[in-house]
Every structure is written in C-alpha cells, then in structure tokens.
Chains A and B, each alone.
Chain A
Amino acid sequence: MGAAGSKLEKALGDQFPEGERYFGFENFGNTCYCNSVLQALYFCVPFREQLLEYYTSNKSVADAEENLMTCLADLFSQISSQKKKTGVIAPKRFVQRLKKQNELFRSYMHQDAHEFLNYLLNEVVDILEKEAKATKTEHETSSSSSPEKIPNGLKVPQANGVHKEPIVTWVHNIFQGILTNETRCLRCETVTARDETFLDLSLDIEQNSSITSCLKNFSSTETLHAEDKFFCDKCCSLQEAQKRMKIKKPPHILVIHLKRFKYIEQLGRYKKLSYRVVFPLELKLSNTVEPYADIEYSLFAVVVHVGSGPNHGHYVSLVKSHNHWLFFDDENVEMIEESAVQTFFGSSQEYSSNTDHGYILFYESLGPTK
C-alpha cells in the first residue's frame, strides 16, 4: 500500500493539495458499494465539513452512544487526521455498525450503492432530527436558535398528513431540493400544486441520451386519463388532467441517480441497462422555476457500477478534488485525466466489453440556491 500511495504522491508532486488526504478503503467482502459512496461523500466538501464539525463539537458525548453517524464521523476524522497523505484505511467500525443496524446490508451479496446512499442520508437525518427534538424539549421555554425552520414559511406536508414544522438539518441544507407537482384539470383548468422534497433525483434513462435530456423527460408533461384520472377538488370528481414536475428549489448538492437497474416483467428479474448516457462536467437545470433558471452545477463525483448484471459486479468512484480527478477502487487511488470521465458514459451497443457505467452523479451548485 505504501508503494501505491507514493505513486499517487509522485503523480501529484508539488500540486498535492495542502491538508488533503487521499485514502483507499479496504474491502470486507463485497463492500465496494459502501466504499464508493463514502469516497463521494468524503469529497462532498460541505458534507465533510459539517460532519467533522459535528464530530468535534460532540466529542465529549460521542462515547455515550454509537450510531451510524458517529461511526461515519469517526471514519472521516480518521482520514483527515492521517499523518501520511495517502494510504489505505479499513472502515471496519462503520461497516460493522451498518450490518448490525440493517439486515439488508448484512449479507455478502452484491448491494445497491444508491440504496445504501439513500439509507445512510436518511439515517443521518433521523439522528440529527432526534437530537434536535431532544434539545428542543430541553429548551422548551427559551427560543432555541437551532434547528432552523425552512425559509419562506414553506410547509412541507408530512406523509401522515399532520402539518408540523419540519426540522431542517444540515443534511437538508446540503442535499434537499423541492419539487412541485403541478396538475391541471382538463375540465376546469384549475392548477393544483403539491410540493415534495427530495435528497436526490432518480431518472429514467434512454439509449444515447444526455442527463439534460433525462431531466427534460423527468419534467415532461404527462396526461392522466383512463384509470389514472385525477380527483379534482373543484369538479369534485375524477377528471382527465395534465401533470408535470418542476424543480421549485434546486438543492445545493444535486445527486442524480440513473435508473440502470430495471425490472423486466417478461424476464421476471432486474436487468442492467448499459445505455450510453452522457453527463457534462457543467450542468444547468432546464426544469426549474424562476428565479433559479440559470444556476450552474459542476460535477465533482461519480459512483460507477462495473459489470453487466444487477446482481454482481463492482463499484468504483471518480472524484474531483482541487481540480484533479481521482479514481477510487477500494484500496487503490489513482489520478486520472479529466477526459477519462467520458469512458464511464455507457455503451451505445447492448453487448459491449465496456461495462463501467456512471450510476450516481454528484453535482455542486456554483451559484446561490438559497
């Protein structure tokens, strides 16, 4: 491992970023899904900074109770405080905790990196919310400054229909966006808008398309008819309607999940779509509500699925750090050319030797999204 580390250090030379650490993760038997996502999150600077800040400010109580977030904070802090600039770390405690907590990730089977990311972020949100509620009850009478409320007095309906002030954690501030689902009754023309929050966008993909095009399709107008009619409150009946999804508030970090694993009914199983879906290094969202129309995003991480099927394969990640692109494959970390990102778009033919496909994309906003 020392040799590999020094190779990367040599490649970067005096351009090695001050204070930065590039550490590979040991694989504990099919834990590449976890390693690839953790690398992407570590190089998601606002997430790393918040987590390390949490770690520092909660050090005294850290040994009180271990949870997935404390394990993650512990791991991040371990990396950032390494004396060496490069090397390998075993995320043992984190993986143990993950397996203990969720039976889904307990087996040595191939896991879905997106499911893991989803689980991890929601878990961190739950922990932060619980802590926030606890502090809230402690300071019941005094007006607590944190947690903040969603700006603009915006209320997000809860799943159970009870309107309560939602708690906004730093995870929300980083990843959360708001979609608005506009439904226009074709009889009375009334537009009903319903807001939904998201931490990432899962997009349907098509062969030889771009992320821009997939986002356009995501927001394309859909007609609700036949058995899929819409109950119009004004007409008090089921009516044909037009529905479209727009981004009302774009997130600071935009996570895009490409739906490469598709259930094929005829086969009775999932199939991997190896479609060529190009993603630009810079992106603007075509489907936003003003005044967010021209906000620019920059790609900083890609989780790549390697393999031809959904039940086996491997995950690696590409990460942009201080204007260098790095390739993380479990223990191994290499520097790559920016143009090499293009080799992870997918295949324009169904059967191809190229099986390395971009699966989760991480974009950071370059402009104000608040």
Chain B
Amino acid sequence: MMNNSNGMISAPSSSSSPAANPQSPGIKTYFKTPEGKYKLHYEKTHSSGLLHYAHGKTVTQVTLAQLKERAAPTTPTATSSGYSASSGFRSATARLLGTGNGSRALSFGGGNGGSKSMSTSSRISGSFTASNSSTSMTNTNFDGKGTYLVFNVSDAIFICDLNSQDKDPVKSIHFSNSNPMCHAFDPDAKDGHDLLIGLNSGDVYTVSLRQQLQDVSKKLVGPLHYNKDGSVNNNRCTSISWVPGGDGAFVVAHADGNLYVYEKNKDGATDSTFPAIRDPTQFSVDKAKYSKSNPVARWHICQGSINSIAFSNDGAHLATVGRDGYLRIFDFATQKLVCGGKSYYGALLCCSWSMDGKYILTGGEDDLVQVWSMEDRKVVAWGEGHNSWVSGVAFDSYWSSPNSDGSGEHVMYRFGSVGQDTQLLLWDLEMDEIVVPLRRAPGGSPTYSTGSQSAHWDNVIPMGTLQPAPCKRDVPKLSPIIAHRVHTEPLSGLMFTQESVVTACREGHLKIWTRPSESEIQSNSCSEANPTSSLLSTSFPPKITKPH
C-alpha cells in the first residue's frame, strides 16, 4: 500500500544511524579526550518530589557563584576567579581580562587566555581534592568563602556547594507566584546584592547570595524587586546579565524581543514608561520617560523571543540570539549594532564569547554550532555533530594547545557544546587553518578572488549590517574531537571551570566532570602510541573541511 508509484515512500528500516542505542541506560562515568580522561566527580540535583512539576515549562539554567571572604579584595587581578561565561550558565567572574588595566589584558600568546594567564591569579577556595563537605544543614554561618552552583527548576532556585560531594542543595528558595527562569551572579557587587533572578512573569529580583545562605527559610530574603508584577514588561525573562564593569547595572532580556537596562542605584519602586515601539521589525533604543525610575532604557532587538544574551568580558559588546535566528552584536556604550548574522535555519538558543572577545559561539535549532568571527564579521565555521538542537556553548578558557609555544602562530581554541541529544561535544579550532586559507584566492595569492568563490567569503562585510544565512557549501565544517552522552535528559547548560566541566540537563540534574590529571596529560604527550589517543578514531587531529 505504501509503494504504489504515486505513493508514500518509507525510509529503509536498516538506515538507522550508527549512534548508540538511546534506550540504553548505561551512561559512562568518564569520557576520553586527546589529553586524557574526564571523570564524573560529583552530581548535583534536587528532590523533585517536592516540586509542583510543570513539565516543559521551565528549563534549568546554572550560574556559578563564588563568594569571597567578606573583606573583598579591590584590585581587578585579585578578583579574577577565572570562570568562563557560557550560555545556560552565568559566570561569577567574567571579567578576567576586561577590566584589568594591566598589561595582560587582551594580550594572547598561546592558548586562548586559559591557564597561562590564570597562573598568577588566585585559585578558588576548596579544590576538589581538598574539599570539606558541608554535610550538616546548619545554614547559619556562610561568612566564609565558597563556590556555589545556583540553578532553577520549576518554581524554585537551588543552591549547591560546588566542592562538596553532597548531591542535595544546601538551600532552596521557592517562588509562590511565578517560576524563576534565569539568573546571574557578580562576585564584585559593591553593596552585597550580587545575585540577579528573572521570573516567568517578567519580574526581576536582586538579592545577596550570602544572605540567602544564612537564612533557613525557603523564601527570598531581602530582595529588591524590579518590574513588579510585570508592570513594565510582563513577558518571560529569558536571559539576565550584570554589565561587566557596569557599576551595578544589569540587563534583562524578555520573550517579546525587548531588553531592559537597569541601574542598581535607581529606584525600583517607580515604574518606568516607554514610548510605543514605532516599528517592531526595526532595532530601536528608548530611554525611560523619567530619569529616576528603573529600568532606564529599553532596547527593542527583534520580533519574537530573545533567547540568550552575553557580554564580552570587557563589557564593550553585547551579543543577543533569538527566535528569528539572528545573532546580533551591539556596542553597548554607543547602543549601535556592530554586526550579526542569521543561523542556517531556525532559532538560535545560546551564545558565548571567547575570553579574548574575538569569537562568539552560537547554537540553535539547525543542530549546528556556529563560530562567529568579530574580525571578519561573519561565520567562519560550523560544528556538525549534534543530533538535535544545540542548547549550550562555551569556550574552555583553561585549555591551552599542546603545541602552542606562545608564538601566536598556531592559536588553537578549545570549546564545548551540549545539545538536546543529551551529548557533550568538544571541539578544537585552529585559526591559521580556518581563517588564512579562506582569505586567499586559490593558488595562495593573498588577493581576493573574483567570481570563483562565493560572495560570502570574498566581500568585506560593512559595519552595522546583518548577514543572511550562509549557503551550506560556503562554510568550513568542523568535526568534534569527542562526543559523549552525559545525561539521560536533553541538556541545557555547559560551563568550564579550572578543575572541571559542568553539564546540566533541562530537568535540573548537574554533573561535574574533572579534567585529566597533570600526570595523565604528561604521559599522554610523551607517548605517541598512547592507547587513549589511538582509540579516538573520529577526527583527531582536528581538521577543518574547507569550502571548495
């Protein structure tokens, strides 16, 4: 019946993919990379039985929050804890290079700002090996320093101690009226209000994380409340961020394509009013009618939802991705569009900057990881390897190329991505291979070719314009160095810390994977015939498929 000549054709049943049986419950507790084994160290979760489970209504995001000792250091270098920002996760200290006015800022030698520049900055307290688990539930004394994971599930915010083997949160905060959707942490907040929380109702809170930890109740303690009951915008908060070096300013993105700038020292009780949006299809910025109220400005970015926002580490640029599939990069101070471009197809879901501010990763509904170059103002590579939507992307700022000698000629970036296919993928990006050949005409002449190559690669892209979706054949492709199924549920977040990789699934389960030990890395680099390396048949060393 299915095969008459005009009929419907079924796929051959034998054409199922070679991927592992998704039914298999066995998820390995380690994964191998060229530099060694990453091992599952801790898991963090919540007791879901306590929740009024609203399936699919909320997606877990995770923020890394480092509480320093009360006498906060003041010099920029000392405040660097060195956590990199990523989508789904919000970094505690995303100002590693940006605000530092020292000579090290934005100067890159070998790696992408990873361990080398980190070697002098303070390590976080309580490394994994020396962690003292806080098994007691006395929430009375959180005066000390500590590193926490803040994550939302359904109507609650949970706080876990990163360096404790305890699976359960040390604190839960329940919201009675609406679900928390996004959050961000600033370790250098001056007045103690360091945690931002955006709700489904559009409401925004700032609180002190320490104060929450000291309190034993399940309620938010001492919050400042903005956009009360959605009075300025009642659409879901989708992404929230402190402005790096912004003196308490923060930005909230909403599901209707608007983004609001708040200043912490302004009154939250007085509602701001904004003029009507003149043309919903156009980008526009409007100031609030009264200068004393909060928010102070509205940026109308796009039609449909803004799905994620990310500041470059120096706070100069703001990247947004959304339902319309566009990545947009703005100069935050001048409020001008710098550049941007369309996904291959479908919405973009996440974005993240490289530590040096040269590249932006995006992930979306075309199952692709895009690498956007700020210098070229276009997509320079597509990572192909996910079997579903890409929900989290991040550069590994602690990774340095084994071949890099600091000459800068062989700059290599390591980044990761997680998807709704439950997989974590790691990628290597060699910039001399990817950028240089593309800017030369065939034959190696440094002049631009005419005609033979697509316009996408030949034209210098002007400032302030948005690029259409590139043609498939024009974009160089990357293959992942590893692909590992890390959870049973679709993933929603990824973050690299100095000691580990943190993955999170939509339902609020977190896994912390420790990096290979130093000794393992050394033995790997010494022995060419190392079985760990030889097992990686996929695509090591990484190569980029160039467009023809």
A125 near B: Cβ within 8 Å?
Answer: yes
Chain B residues with Cβ below 8 Å from A216 are 17
Query: Is there contact, CB below 8 Å, between B11 and A280?
Result: no
Q: In the complex, A52→B8 CA distance in Å?
A: 24
A306 near B: Cβ within 8 Å?
Answer: no
Q: Which of A254-311 contact B (CB under 8 A)?
A: 257, 259, 275-276, 278, 280-284, 286, 293-294, 296
Assuming A208-B388, A217-B16, A343-B56, is B420 touching A278 (CB within 8 A)? yes
Chain B residues with Cβ below 8 Å from A281 are 346-347, 365
Partner among B11, B345, B488, B490 whose Cβ is within 8 Å of the Cβ of A218: B11
0/1 per residue, A204-237, Cβ < 8 Å to B? 1011111011001110101000000000000000
A353 near B: Cβ within 8 Å?
Answer: yes
Q: In the complex, A210→B3 CA distance in Å?
A: 26
Chain A residues with Cβ below 8 Å from B23 are 207, 350
Q: Kindly report which residue of chain B lies nearest to residue A196, judged by CB atoms.
A: B9
Q: Kindly report which residue of chain A lies nearest to residue B388, judged by CB atoms.
A: A210
Looking at the assembled complex, report how far the CB atom of B524 sits from the nearest CB atom of chain A, in whole angstroms.
Answer: 32
Count A-B pairs with CB separation below 8 Å: 144
Chain B residues with Cβ below 8 Å from A4 are none
Query: Is there contact, CB below 8 Å, between B7 and A122?
Result: yes
0/1 per residue, B12-37, Cβ < 8 Å to A? 11111101001100000000000000
Query: Is there contact, CB below 8 Å, between B11 and A156?
Result: no
Query: Is there contact, CB below 8 Å, between B15 and A213?
Result: no
Q: Kindly report which residue of chain A lies nearest to residue B471, judged by CB atoms.
A: A294
Looking at the assembled complex, report how far the CB atom of B303 sits from the nearest CB atom of chain A, in whole angstroms.
Answer: 10
0/1 per residue, B475-490, Cβ < 8 Å to A? 0000000000000111
Query: Is there contact, CB below 8 Å, between A220 and B15?
Result: yes
Assuming A210-B388, A283-B345, is B365 touching A125 (CB within 8 A)? no
0/1 per residue, B36-77, Cβ < 8 Å to A? 000000000000000000011000000000000000000000
Q: In the complex, A158→B325 CA distance in Å?
A: 42
Assuming A217-B15, A282-B346, A343-B56, is B10 touching A210 (CB within 8 A)? no
Partner among A202, A280, A293, A342 whose Cβ is within 8 Å of the Cβ of B473: A293
Query: Is there contact, CB below 8 Å, between B365 and A197?
Result: no
Q: In the complex, A157→B420 CA distance in Å?
A: 41
Q: In the complex, A278→B11 CA distance in Å?
A: 19
Q: In the complex, A338→B473 CA distance in Å?
A: 31
Q: Which of A295-354 contact B (CB under 8 A)?
A: 296, 338-339, 342-343, 348-350, 352-354
Q: Kindly report which residue of chain B lies nearest to residue A200, judged by CB atoms.
A: B8
Looking at the assembled complex, report how far the CB atom of B82 sits from the nearest CB atom of chain A, in whole angstroms.
Answer: 33
26 interchain pairs (CB within 8 A)? A159-B3, A199-B7, A201-B9, A201-B11, A202-B9, A202-B11, A207-B23, A208-B22, A209-B22, A209-B387, A212-B366, A213-B388, A217-B15, A222-B12, A222-B14, A245-B12, A276-B420, A276-B490, A280-B346, A281-B346, A281-B347, A282-B365, A284-B345, A293-B472, A348-B490, A350-B23
